[in-house]
A = this chain, B = another copy of it.
């Protein structure tokens, strides 16, 4: 058994039961973004969180244990994603990569935005010309250490 099999089992149960991530998140008591990533095999759950998820999706004791082990992360089957929705995010990195870099350096100096001490939110932004997807990211700035 491995974490990938647990993820696939969760996905199958979710389709069959017609559950929504928003509901799963409410039950787990964390944000939608984090809970979804966790169920999709990218984050580590506590024993309690994994019990909730296990109950919702009908996981065995052992499958729940896998959810508490830090997984080998990376959710895309290829380095450059083929799925159009995910590709658009990759395209933003491709087109705006040097812009991210220059503006963060201009504001903070040399360093990075952490992808670990990080949180994210995705929500609907109503708009008469067509609703918009609003993504807000917040990551701690980590300056390069001089030594």
- Chain A residues with CB under 8 Å of chain B are 1-2, 8, 11-12, 15-16, 18, 20-22, 30-34, 36-37, 40, 42-44, 62, 65-66, 69-70, 72-120, 122-125, 127, 129-147
Assuming the contacts A80-B79, A84-B115, A87-B91, asked whether A37 and B132 have C-beta atoms less than 8 A apart, the reply is: no
Q: Are B100 and A122 in contact (CB under 8 A)?
A: yes
**What are the nearest 5 A-B pairs in CB distance?**
A74-B82, A113-B133, A44-B110, A70-B110, A119-B147
Q: Are B130 and A15 in contact (CB under 8 A)?
A: no
Q: Are B103 and A75 in contact (CB under 8 A)?
A: no
Q: How far is the CA of A143 from the CA of B140 in the complex (A)?
A: 12
